[in-house]
Structures are given as C-alpha cells and as structure tokens.
Amino acid sequence: MIIETHKLTKQYYGSGGCQDISLSVIEGHIFGFLGPNGAGKSTFVKTLLGLLIPSGGEAKIIGQSIGDTKARKHIGYLPELFRYQDWLTGEELLKYHAQLYGLTKSEYQIRIGTILDLVGLMGKERKKVGAYSKGMQQRIGLAAALINNPTLLFLDEPTSALDPIGRKEVRDIIIELRNQGKTVFLNSHLLSEVETVCDEIAIINNGKLIMSGSWREMQLGELWLEVTIKNLSTAIIEKLDLAVLKVEKSGNDNLVIKIAGEEEVNKALKIIIDNGGTITKIETKKRSLEELFLHALTKGNNDADYN
Amino acid sequence: MLTIIKYTFKELLYKKIFISTLLLALLYLGLYGGALYMVFQRGGTPPDLLIRASISSQLVGAGLYFSTFIVAFLTVLGSVSMVTYELETGILYGILSKPITRTEYMLGKFLGLALMLIIFSLFLIGAVLGLNLLMAGEVLYHFKLISIIKGALIYFLIPLTLLSLVFYLSTILKPLATGIVVIMNFMLGIIGGFLEQIGMVINKQELVDMGILASLFSPVDSIYRKFFSFLYDAGQSPIAILANGPFGSGHPPSIWMIFYSVGYILLFIILALRKFNKMDL
Ligand SMILES: Nc1ncnc2c1ncn2[C@@H]1O[C@H](COP(=O)(O)OP(=O)(O)OP(=O)(O)O)[C@@H](O)[C@H]1O
Ligand SMILES: [Mg+2]
C-alpha cells in the first residue's frame, strides 16, 4: 500500500473538512477520489501532504507518516488553486521546483525539456508564468508536479482549466504514468474523466467516505438492457418483473430492464419472446460512474452493496 | 534551504520595492552629499578646526541616523508582503509539499531577506561615510577599520530586530496590519530614544526611564546609539566627545542592550516558527 489512512480526520474549527477516512491505495493504481463540491477531497489531500495539520487519525504515505518530509522527495502534487511565482519564467519555475526537490543540475536539465514537451509548453518556457493563460498555468503546474519523476502523484482537479484537447492530453499522461508503474491519486468531480482511467475509486460526501473499491468490480454485476418490442403486452412486463431486478416501461414499446449480470441477458430475452414479444432493437449498458455516483450520494451510508 | 534563500534574494531583486528603495536611498544620498558640499566646500564655515570637526561628526550622525529610516522602510515593505504573499496566494502549497520542512522554509526566507538588508545597510553606511570623507576631508574623525566593522555588525541588528518582528506578526496578522504595527513600533523606539537623550541632558530620570521602556519594545534606537559609540570609539578616544548630540551617542546604552537585541530577534524567530509549524496552510 502506497497510501494508507486510518480514520484520518481534518476539521476546520470543528466543522467541514473530512472525517474518519480510512482507505488504502495500491501501488501502481490510478485512484479516483470523487465527491461533490465541498465534500472534503482537497482537505484530505492537503492533510496527507502535511499542508494541513490533522485533527485525528493516522496515515502513512510511501511508508512514512505524514509530516515526514522524506517521502515527499518521491511525491508530486498539483494543488487545485494553482498559483506559482508569477515573476519567474516557465523554465525558471521548473528549475526552482527541481531544486526544492534537491535535484542536481545534471539531473534536472534534461528533465525540464522532456517535461515541457510532455505538457505542451515547449516554446513558451521563456515567458513569465504571470503572463500564461489559466490553462497554461495549469500545465506548468502539472510539469512542476512531475519534475522529480514522482512515484506517487496527487492531482487535485488537474483539468479544471483545460480545453478538451488538454483534458485528453492529461488523461494520456495519467495512463502513461500508470504504464510506468506510478501511482496517481486523482481528485475530481468530472466523472467521465475518472471513469476511463481509474482502477479504483472512492466516493466522499459531507466529509465522510461513502464507498471505495475496484471500479472494474463495481462495473461487473448490474447491467441495463434497453429493449424495443413490437406488440409489448402487460404479460411480458409482469413475467419479467418476477425474474429480473427491475423493469421500467419507457415510451410505448420500450422496456428498460435491470439484470444482475451478463448471464441473465438470455433469460430476459427468452421471457419476452416466449410471451409473444418481437424484439426489434436491443442495447446493453453497463452501469456508468455517474449512476453509481448519484446513487451513492442519494443513498448515502445505507448503501452496503459496494463496500 | 539554500534554494529558498537564493530565490528569496532573487525575488527581492525582482520586486519593485527594492528598486524604489534604492532610488529613494540614492536621492537621499544626493541631498545629503549636497548638504555636505555646502557646509565644507563653500567657505563661510568657522575656521576653528575643532568646531569644524564637531560639525562634521554631527553631520555624520544625522546622515547615519536617517539612513536607518530607509533601512527600516526597506525591511518592513520588503518583508511584510514576502512572507504572507506566498501563504495567501497558495504558492506555498507548491513549495511546502516538497521535501523541505516549514522551519527550513521560514529560516530560508529570513536569511535571504537578512542578507539583502545587510548588504543594503553596508551600502548606506559606506556611502554616508564615503561622502563625508570626500567633502569634509581632514576634519573628519579618523575612523578605525575595526571600529567600522564592529559598528556595522551592531548596526545589522536594526533591520534584523524589525525583520524578526515582521516574521512573527505575519503569522498572526494580515500584511497591512503587520506593516503598521512594525512601523509604529519603530517610531516608538525612535521617540523613546529622543526622550532618553533629552532626559539625560536635562537630568530628568522619568524621561530616561520612559525611553528605556520604549527601547525594550523597540531596541532600534539603542542599537543605533551603540553603533555610533563604537564608530567613534567612545570612552577610549579623547575626542570621542565629538560623538555627542541628538543623533550621536553622548550616553550610549550598556552592552547588555546588544544581548537584549539578539535575544529579541531569537525570541520572535522562535515564536514565528512555533506558530508557523502548527498552522493550516
Ligand atoms: N480554510 C477553511 N476554513 C474553513 N472551512 C474550510 C476551509 N477549507 C475548506 N473548508 C470546508 O471544508 C469542506 C471541504 O472542503 P474541500 O475544499 O476539501 O472540498 P472539495 O471536496 O475539495 O470541494 P471542491 O470540489 O469544491 O474542490 C467544505 O465544507 C469547506 O467549506
Ligand atoms: Mg477541492
């Protein structure tokens, strides 16, 4: 486990923040930390990095307890409110951050070029950071977080200021980092973004952890079938209702059927055909992260399905 | 920590505050040099060498005394925004998530600023003395190099006491409030110093006590007087009496004032570190 927390709590004057968060992150995984605005995502990350003093609980990252500066040599962090020394140029800024990591000149010189290229700022490195656009500032922030070639990377809303191309680029960088065996802890509320890259997710609301686990396993199981049926009868619906998790009529000849897994597709279709339905169109949908997210947030702590 | 020192230094050079203070200092030196020229090069001054020497030392005193105002100005304006700026803008998130402790960061900032202020102070002392040497020539007191060095070391305590106070206050107050409190504290020290000198001259112990009390809060004036007495080797040289006067050191504070000032600096640095180490960023 590269991150392990036990009942980690950080409250601001007794309220807000995050409470009793216990989770662990496996090395080499991309971990999506989700939650609505004000859920406590940034608070959690800042506490892990020693920027906030925890009000309770424990945590270890890269084997060191938080507040220990040694582990930070291998950590990269892109804060959510990225502001950098605006009087430095992009290149100088990266140099400064490299030196803060204790890198030597020979170590950072080549690295700076590579990183500038990676985040798409090549050719703009001699411009003052203060004159960068918001998206460019976020890019240079990402570059600063990557300058030490970190084993563990914290990204707090890394694409909030980026255009669609930029978002895709960041996603590709994240996937590339995973291929190199790095761990990425990604704070986000852009679900579609998390969905495609994350190995594991945790959802937090009102400062409390609601669920966490492997995203692939969560996706297994439930499946939605959207079936268009000629001569749809009440008999079909009644029979299905007994056999599957949920049936809903949508429109005149459409059924939305929730089943427990792929192995039940046949069973559901057989019921329709056996009862005189003619299927004209069929679509299967896996559970989307958005559904899971909304479901988790509305059901809150009572949802035991995915713990 | 070296990195922090280096970039603090760089930032100061970059910021307009340094350049404007430097311009202010040059303007001041220009005026001061002009005044010296009027006094010493344009006839009309008393021919008596002793009187001329006494005038010279008064002018040296005035020149150095008002230099402390410029040093104080740079100290407060240069540091007040520096410490809180990175905190308020969130730049600190990027810095303190690196393998560097908060103590290292704060000390790095302190040393970077201190280094700059020391260089600036040396420049001002050097320029004032240099102008006097140029204009007053042989009537200028013959400063010994060792006295200048000793004096300068003490003089550095002026920006450092102010700086340590700024550091501590900026962990609890907003920049503007910090600036106001530190400048008021500086003025308190200056006024206290005058009260003390006047009290000595007219033999009013109450005034002296008030001055001493003020210098406990703000030792700048005592440090200055001690510096001046070192410069003129007070107590050793028969003509050290020249160093008397409103900007001089007729009654320099005891050596304990120096230890007090060093303690003052350490105390506020320690308080600032303790507060900063427990702070949420
Ligand atoms: N400095 C602070 N002082 C007081 N309360 C705070 C402070 N920072 C955050 N909070 C509170 O703590 C809670 C969690 O905030 P946090 O910034 O961690 O949320 P978040 O999940 O990162 O939200 P977002 O998606 O908007 O970035 C919020 O209710 C917020 O009001
Ligand atoms: Mg946030």
- A175 or B58, which is more confident? A175
- With a threshold of 0.85, tell me whether the complex ipTM lies above it: no
Q: What pLDDT sits at residue B250?
A: 64
Q: Give me the residue label for tokens 């930029």.
A: A166
Task: Return the percentage of chain B with pLDDT > 70, whole number.
Answer: 92
> What is the CB < 6 Å shell around ligand 1?
A 12, 16-17, 35, 37-43, 80, 189
Does the beta carbon of B11 lie under 8 angstroms from any beta carbon of chain A?
A: yes
Chain B contacts of A53, Cβ < 8 Å? 278-280
**A11 CA closest ligand 1 atom index:** 12
Task: Return the percentage of chain A with pLDDT > 70, whole number.
Answer: 97
Q: Taking the mean position of all CA atoms in its chain, how far away is CA A263?
A: 29
Q: What's at A102, amino acid-wise? A: G
Does the beta carbon of B94 lie under 8 angstroms from any beta carbon of chain A?
A: yes
What dihedral do alpha carbons A95, A101, A102, A107 form, nearest 10°?
-60
Residues 6+ apart with CB under 8 A from A180: none
* Among the ranges given (B4-13, B140-149, B195-204, B234-243), the one the predictor scored with the smallest mean pLDDT: B234-243
* Among the ranges given (B33-47, B172-186, B199-213, B215-229), the one the predictor scored with the smallest mean pLDDT: B33-47
DSSP state, residue A126: T
Q: Where are the domains of chain B?
A: 2-278
Does the beta carbon of B15 lie under 8 angstroms from any beta carbon of chain A?
A: yes
Nearest CB among A53, A101, A141 relative to B98 is that of A101
Chain B contacts of A97, Cβ < 8 Å? 94, 98
Q: Return d(Cα A164, Cα B96) in angstroms, integer.
A: 31
- Predicted confidence (pLDDT) at residue A299 exceeds the cutoff of 90: no
The alpha-carbon gap from B101 to the nearest alpha carbon of chain A, in Å, equals 6
A63 phi, psi to nearest 5 deg: 80, 0
Mean per-residue pLDDT for B195-214? 84
C-beta atoms surrounding B193 within 10 Å:
26
Which residues sit opposite A64 in a β-bridge? Answer: A61
Paired tokens of A16: 């807000």
Ligand that lies nearest to the alpha carbon of residue A46, given by its number in the listed order: 1
The alpha-carbon gap from A141 to the nearest alpha carbon of chain B, in Å, equals 9
Q: Return d(Cα A80, Cα B29) in angstroms, integer.
A: 48
Helices (H), A122-264: 134-146, 164-179, 191-197, 215-219, 234-243
Do the chains contact at B93 and A81, CB–CB below 8 Å? yes
Give the best-scoring range by mean pLDDT among B9-23, B41-55, B100-114.
Answer: B100-114
Which residues sit opposite A24 in a β-bridge? Answer: A4
Q: What pLDDT sits at residue A100?
A: 94
Ligand that lies nearest to the alpha carbon of residue A37, given by its number in the listed order: 1
- Predicted confidence (pLDDT) at residue B208 exceeds the cutoff of 70: yes
The alpha-carbon gap from A164 to the nearest alpha carbon of chain B, in Å, equals 25
CB contacts < 8 Å between A and B, how many? Answer: 64
Mean per-residue pLDDT for B166-186? 92
Q: Return d(Cα B229, Cα B224) in angstroms, integer.
A: 9
- Predicted confidence (pLDDT) at residue B118 exceeds the cutoff of 90: yes
Residues 6+ apart with CB under 8 A from B199: B205, B206, B207, B208, B209, B210, B211
For all residues of chain B together, what is the average pLDDT?
86
pLDDT band with cut points at 50, 70 and 90 for residue A298: confident
- Predicted confidence (pLDDT) at residue A301 exceeds the cutoff of 50: no
Q: Return d(Cα B206, Cα B200) in angstroms, integer.
A: 10
pLDDT band with cut points at 50, 70 and 90 for residue A148: very high
Does the beta carbon of B24 lie under 8 angstroms from any beta carbon of chain A?
A: no
How far away, in angstroms, is A45 Cα from ligand 1 center? 11
pLDDT tens for B226-279 read 888 888 776 555 555 555 666 766 667 778 889 999 999 999 999 999 999 998
Which residues sit opposite A203 in a β-bridge? Answer: A34, A211
Could you give the 3-state DSSP secondary structure of residue A132? coil
- A112 or A263, which is more confident? A112
Do the chains contact at B281 and A46, CB–CB below 8 Å? yes
B40-46 long-range contacts (CB < 8 A, ≥24 apart) are: B40/B135, B40/B136, B40/B137, B40/B139, B41/B135
What dihedral do alpha carbons A238, A242, A243, A248 form, nearest 10°?
50
Q: What pLDDT sits at residue A303?
A: 42
Q: Whose CA is nearest to atom 17 of ligand 1?
A: A42
Q: Return d(Cα A94, Cα A147) in angstroms, integer.
A: 7
- DSSP sequence for A89-120: BHHHHHHHHHHHTT--HHHHHHHHHHHHHHTT
Q: What pLDDT sits at residue B30?
A: 93
Q: What pLDDT sits at residue A304?
A: 40
Q: Return d(Cα B143, Cα B145) in angstroms, integer.
A: 6
